[in-house]
Structure 1
Amino acid sequence: MAITPKQRAAIAAILAAGTLATAAVLLTGRSGSADPHGDHGDAHAHGAGQASASAATPAADKHADADAPIALTDEQIQRAGIAIETAGPATIQSGLQFPGEIRFNEDRTAHVVPRLAGVAESVPATLGEQVRKGQLLAVIASTALSDQRSELLAAQRRMELARATYQRERKLWEEKISAEQDYLQARAALEEARIAVQNAQQKLTAVGATPSAARLNQFELRAPFDGVIVEKHLALGEAVADNANIFTISDLSTVWAEFVVAAKDLEHVRVGETARIRSAASDGKAEGKISYVGSLLGEQTRTAKARVTLTNPNLAWRPGLFVTVEVLTAKAAVPVAVQADAIQEVDGKRVVFVAGPKGFVAQRVVPGRSDGQLVEIREGLRPGVRYAARNSFVLKSDLGKDAAGHEH
């Protein structure tokens, strides 16, 4: 079948239109796929760059601030009370620390008992009162004391009679009027009477009673030495036994600081060694000598008891107070030491703030032995370095403020 010229023209037009449509579709697809991907890639790269920069900058700033000096003027240093010292060699006497407790000096503590049964007629002494030796504590009416004083009086009367008889018989014997046997019997009777009187007097002395009183049954209980009444178990009209503990008096001018020592530390704790005592509740400090170290170890604890005898003039060391006992060891010379207040803790590390031309820098150190005032520096400082010795916590506070500011 032959194609006419008019049909050829129509087919050519259709093919041309299809070719143009295909080209348009291809051009549109290429343009749409390139631009979105290009824009997204640029945005992603740009955002990643910003995130990376923002993440890196604070870390770098923080690191730079931690190492940067803390600049203070002379006026600021003086106002903050920061004292600058020079690190150098020193002699340190370190010690071992033990928890302890203040207790009564048992050698100067008395449990007062009446030693005679009776009834309390008066009790002038009060709990907590400071008493002197011989001061009246209580008056007790005792029938047993009445019997003892009656015995003494009877013995004294018999002795007076025996003395008179002896003197008469001796005179008669010397004048050859009576026999020597009568004289010897009178002398023996006098000696027996004297012994009876001494026996009655010693009975009264043993119970602390005087030979005479306003009433035969009146017993005056008095303080055995100067001290403080720390316990009282007697009231007016109360009946008491002869062995009842009615008063406890302790001389608090000296007290004991008792502590326990493990077996491994016993070689460092000896009688006569110096020990420092610090109160756990206040700033109280004192020094004393170790007066006792136990010879036996406890079966359960495997520790030995020890104590330090402390003078207590102001009664500041009260029994029951918890303390820290530091037993001083031998002195040792160290090449570098700083004041104890100079060491601070920053981010879990021990540091000393070193003074430089641009300010104070936190220098990490490794401390060693200490005597409470000086601390040995094993690593981190050289002799001759100037550092903040007092009020260095002000510098630590400034360092913390700077770090907190950068974190925000």
Structure 2
Amino acid sequence: MKPLSNVRILMISMMLALSGISINLQAQDAEHRAHEEEAHGGHNAHDEHETQSASVDAETLKALGGEIRIAGPGTVRQTVSLPGEVRLNKETVAQVSPRYPAQVVDVSARIGDSVDAGDTLAVGESSQTLQRFPLKSLIRGTVIDRSATLGEQIQPTDAAFVVADLSTLWVDIALYPRQIGHVQKGQPVRITTAFGPDPVNARIDYLDPVVSEQVRTGLARIFLDNASGEWKPGMFIEAEVTLSESQGDVVVPLTAVIEYEVRQVVFVREEESWHPRPVTLGAKDRDQVIIQSGLEAGEQYVAKGGFTLKAELLKRGFESGHNH
């Protein structure tokens, strides 16, 4: 191999030197850009996020099951669901008994009959004087029990008939130990039953001051208007008790809040597009949430169907080579 000439050695040295300078300058330039991006939040992520938008039109969004609303005030309720049972109102129940021992010689009322106060339900014959006397209803209501039968001997301690006014009933709600201190008289309650009447909105009318020694539960009671006769004693119910209420200038359904790029966002209309607006959440219940910042009253937003818009943004990001 021939030795390299001094000129060629000099040229190679100069090329290596220039290459080194070029690499160094590129590294310095990259480092400089990195510092600038870091100072602006890393590749201007915030600005990029703010400029993202989905262009699905309102009619298409609605056709896909979406819902659009105008942001406005509302109320968020903290609630608890408790079991309960419909019972007779013991204050409107009357027992019909003879004043002295007697034999039943006639019966004119049956279980289920509606009677007025003063109606004769049966006729008894005194065992001592053999005089006959009527057994009359003391109140207006429905005969819910009858023990008197024709020819039977009855005593003053016997309830020959039980008549109840079913136009008002009691709804007794069981309070577990952790709820006893939170449920208060006057709190709103929504009563529902799996099979029966439509839900009813009421309020707590009574709190038992004594806790059951057997099961260690408290008792809350509602005086239920049953003029329609749809509610029946013995029905099991679920009582949704409102423990507290929070007012908000902007309240949206939970379906409006979507997780996007590790943020909670609401899609807000800006001109002809939907923008994923980061929001700060406040108090919420099982249906709604208060928006503390990020959405203003009067703005149009997607209340339901935001996942459709999110899918469009993600698709666009993958197609452009950006994986957020």
Q: TM-score, normalised by structure 2?
A: 0.62
CA displacement 1:46-72 (0-9 Å, x = unmatched): xxxxxxxxxxxxxxxxxxxxxx97957
Equivalent residue, structure 2, for 1:130: 114
1:258–1:314 distance in 2 versus 1, CA, 3 Å: same
SS in 1 for 2:148: coil
| Deviation at residue 81 of structure 1 after TM alignment | 8.4
Distance 1:375 1:124, change over 3 A: same
* Deviation per residue, 1:126-147 (Å, 9 max, x gap): 2112211111111112224x3x
Q: Which residue of 1 aligns with 2:38?
A: none
Select the residue among 276, 284, 288 that pairs with 1:369.
Answer: 284
Between Structure 1 and Structure 2, which shows a larger proportion of strand residues? 2
Task: State how far apart, in whole Å, the 1-side matches of 2:282 and 2:113 are.
Answer: 49
Q: Note the C-alpha offset of 1:318.
A: 1.3
How far is 1:251 from its partner? Answer: 1.0
Q: Percent identity?
A: 27
Q: Any residues of structure 2 matched to 1:112-191 within 5 Å, and which?
A: 112-144=96-128, 146=129
**Structure 1 contact 131–223 (Cα < 8 Å) conserved:** yes
**SS of corresponding position for 1:235:** coil
Q: Which has the larger radius of gyration?
A: 1
Judged with a 3 Å threshold, the aligned counterparts in structure 2 of structure 1 residues 317 and 358 are, in CA distance, closer, same or farther, namely same
Asked if 2 retains the 8 angstrom alpha-carbon contact of 1:89 and 1:383, the reply is no
Amino acid at match of 2:91: D
* Structure-1 separation of matches of 2:146 and 2:240: 35
Structure 1 gap ranges (5+): 1-67, 147-215, 400-408
Alignment of 1:347-358 (within 5 A): 354=267
Q: How does 1:35-74 map to 2 (within 5 A)?
A: 74=59
The alpha carbon displacement at 1:297 in A equals 2.2
Amino acid corresponding to residue 295 of structure 2 in structure 1: R
Give the equivalent residue in structure 2 for 1:291. 205
Q: Is the 8 A contact 1:228 1:249 kept in 2?
A: yes
Give the C-alpha shift of residue 103 in structure 1.
0.6
Offset of 1:106 from its aligned partner?
0.8
Q: What pairs up with 1:186-197 in 2 under 5 angstroms?
A: none
Checking the alignment, whether the CA contact within 8 Å between 1:120 and 1:141 is kept in structure 2 is yes
Change (3 A) 1:116 1:366: farther
| Structure 2 SS opposite 1:299 | coil
Q: Does 1:103 align with 2:87?
A: yes
Question: Residue 99 of structure 2: SS of its match in structure 1?
Answer: coil
- Closer/same/farther in 2, CA of residues 228 and 268 from structure 1, 3 Å limit: same
Report the counterpart of residue 228 of structure 1 in structure 2.
142
Give, in whole Å, the separation in 2 of the partners of 1:120 and 1:75: 77
Aligned position for 1:278: 192
| 1:321-347 per-position Cα deviation (integer Å, ceiling 9, x unaligned) | 12222333343223542247x57999x
TM-fit CA distance, 1:124 = 1.4
Q: Which of 316, 319, 322 is the equivalent residue of 2:230?
A: 316
Question: What are the Cα deviations for residues 383-405 of structure 1, in whole angstroms up to 9, with x where unaligned?
Answer: 4564555xx5xx59999xxxxxx
Mapped to 2, the partners of 1:302 and 1:343 lie a distance apart of 41
Name the SS for the 1:268 alignment partner: coil
Q: Is the 8 A contact 1:352 1:388 kept in 2?
A: no
Letter in 2 for 1:231: D
**More helix per residue: 1 or 2?**
1
- Residues 287-343 of structure 1 deviation map (CA, whole Å, 9 limit, x = unaligned): 334232222223343321221111111012211112222333343223542247x57
CA 1:387–1:232 in structure 2 vs 1: closer, same or farther (change >3 Å)?
A: farther
- Superposed CA offset, 1:216-236 (max 9, x none): 611211111111111222333
Cα pair 1:261 1:304 within 8 Å, conserved: yes
Letter in structure 1 aligned against 2:139: F
User: Structure 2 matches for 1:190-269, cutoff 5 A?
Assistant: 217-269=131-183
Indicate how the Cα distance of structure 1 residues 232 and 75 shifts in structure 2: closer, same or farther if over 3 A, else same: farther
Q: Contact 2:267–2:306 (CA<8 Å) still a contact in 1?
A: no
Q: 1:122 to 1:367 in 2, by over 3 A?
A: farther
User: Deviation of residue 256 (structure 1)?
Assistant: 0.8
Task: Determine the structure 2 residue equivalent to 1:84.
Answer: 68
Judging changes above 3 Å, is the alpha-carbon distance between structure 1 residues 247 and 96 closer, same or farther for their aligned structure 2 residues?
Answer: same
- Paired amino acid for 2:78: S
Amino acid at match of 2:229: L
Gap change, CA 1:369 and 1:314, over 3 Å in 2? same
Deviations 1:81-123 (A, max 9, x none): 8653123442334333311111111111123222332222221
